[in-house]
Structure 1
Amino acid sequence: MFLKACAGSLLIFISSLLYTTLFFFSVVFYGSFLLLPSPIVNESLKWRTVSAFVRANFYMCKNICRLEHRVVGLRNIPEKPCIVFLKHSSVYEMFFALSFFQPSSYVAKYELMFVPIIRGAIKALKCIPVKRGKGRKEVEKVIQRGSNYIAEGRWIVLCPEGTRVRHGETRKYGISGALLAKGTKMPVLPVAHNAGYYWGRRSLIKKPGTITFSVGPKIETNGLSVQEINDIAQDWIEKEIENLG
């Protein structure tokens, strides 16, 4: 029994290492297309490239790590773009967001800008890089750019916790997303998931299994305070994660 358990753990480690290597290759390969100038790669082709990147990683996760996903609450995704509040506990959540919300502007940590190919992708996809701990200036950036991108018909995807947390944990929500929602009178779409259990924060290991993403009913923000928007979204997301296990 002990040897069998060790063999199983070793297999998971090897498959996780193999996938991680291929994941970085996929970032370089597909990211290179996003660096091409606009006349060559227009908006439509950019998102087709993103979709191909996501499909490749879904395929590799499933066939190398035996890790796949399902989505509940698809009927809650509105036809018109809005602001998505996404639980922040796994890299896998990025695949989900890029797959279901197109075109979108992702609020990302500024440190990613130091990686040339990711910096190019962030600019090409009109993401909003923010410096954590810089306070009001970065909040204003999210509101200004987010408002402009909403006017262009883009989804805004952000993780109000600000940084990835371990599965089962949470932290106080930042105010930029709620301020953006209140200022634009856009609804908030809460998304919970248990991806952090299978592919955790700063973890090489990808456990076999099925991740569940749960899309909640949209939150109409008109008439709500910033704190109320955050409280309603966080309460739904955390309770749903408890239900998912």
Structure 2
Amino acid sequence: MTLLRSLAYQVFLIASVALFGITIAIAGRFVPYRTVGRLGRAWGLSNLFALKHLCGLNYRITGLEHLPATTAIVLCKHQSAWETIALRGLFPSDQTWVLKRELLRIPILGSALRQFVPIAIDRSAGRKAVKQLLKDGAISLKDGRWVMIFPEGTRVAAGTRIPYSIGGALLAERTGYPVVPVAHNAGVFWGRRSLIKRPGTIELVIGEVIASKGRTAQEINQKVEQWIETTVSSLAQSAQAPL
């Protein structure tokens, strides 16, 4: 049953990417960025709704009161495809994402992503990629867009960890914008390379804002990593229902 429900959602996901992707790719040329952002948020919310009703996979948020009224840099744990959906649907709609350049080459999806003014980097470019992040990230923040970053750089299986990249913390140090750390246990229910979505409730925790002024990038990065990893380790590490 879990497999069938997961397949049903996969069909919904592909259809939603096609429908919203074509709409955003076309509308993005004629409407304000804020409208494009709202379309992106509608896509995220529709997928969260589908996950709940098709797969029995719900979510619970704590810490919404920590979201600042001003633009910020979001540094989020990366375990699954779920958080790319959830952050788009649950956070302020004016967002710029740091993502791998290859995604822009995917038909429909790539055309839609371009309308969100992403920071598309070549992960093998080293310092050049960091410079691009600092330059484009500063512009996005100044223009009122939240910058969404996965500091691990790739999806990491639940229960494991890798060092955090310092790029997001450097952006915070250079611009003075605050950092919002985000932890969750989505990988327990939807694995990093898995079709299966196990039923249960994903815990998404928004941490207190980390002020960047007066702190070095190393200090910011260490504080973010410590809070996220400590919080993730306190969340449930097993699904509520078996396959």
* Alignment equivalent of 1:58, drawn from 45, 48, 51: 48
Aligned CA distance change for structure 1 residues 182 and 30 (closer, same or farther; 3 Å): same
Looking at structure 1, the residues matched to 41 and 151 of structure 2 have their Cα atoms a distance apart, in angstroms, of 24
Q: Does 1:205 align with 2:196?
A: yes
Aligned partner of 1:78 in structure 2 is 68
TM-superposed deviation, 1:39:
5.5
Runs of 4+ in structure 1 deviating by more than 4 angstroms, as ranges, are none
Tell whether the 8 Å contact from 2:138 to 2:171 is kept in structure 1 after alignment.
yes
Looking at structure 2, the residues matched to 116 and 152 of structure 1 have their Cα atoms a distance apart, in angstroms, of 28
Q: Does 1:34 align with 2:24?
A: yes
Which sections of structure 2, spanning at least 5 residues, go unmatched? 237-243
SS in 2 for 1:84: strand
Aligned CA distance change for structure 1 residues 153 and 192 (closer, same or farther; 3 Å): same
Tell whether the 8 Å contact from 1:122 to 1:128 is kept in structure 2 after alignment.
no
* Alignment equivalent of 1:96, drawn from 76, 80, 86: 86
Aligned partner of 2:109 in structure 1 is 118
TM-superposed deviation, 1:124:
0.2
Aligned CA distance change for structure 1 residues 82 and 112 (closer, same or farther; 3 Å): same
Q: What pairs with 1:213-228 in structure 2 (closer than 5 Å)?
A: 213-228=204-219
Looking at structure 1, the residues matched to 139 and 32 of structure 2 have their Cα atoms a distance apart, in angstroms, of 19
Q: What pairs with 1:95-244 in structure 2 (closer than 5 Å)?
A: 95-99=85-89, 100-244=91-235
SS in 2 for 1:229: helix
Larger Rg: 1
Aligned partner of 1:5 in structure 2 is none
Q: Which amino acid aligns with 2:220?
A: I
TM-superposed deviation, 1:89:
0.6
Q: Which amino acid aligns with 1:192?
A: A
TM-superposed deviation, 1:101:
2.8
> Residues 30-74 of structure 1, C-alpha deviation per residue, up to 9 Å, x if partnerless?
011111154633323212211221121111101110001010011
Q: Taking structure 1 as the reference length, what is the TM-score of the superposition?
A: 0.92
TM-superposed deviation, 1:175:
1.7
Report how many aligned residue pairs link the two structures: 235
Q: Percent identity?
A: 37
Looking at structure 1, the residues matched to 45 and 93 of structure 2 have their Cα atoms a distance apart, in angstroms, of 14
Tell whether the 8 Å contact from 1:33 to 1:41 is kept in structure 2 after alignment.
no
Aligned CA distance change for structure 1 residues 160 and 37 (closer, same or farther; 3 Å): same
Tell whether the 8 Å contact from 2:34 to 2:93 is kept in structure 1 after alignment.
no
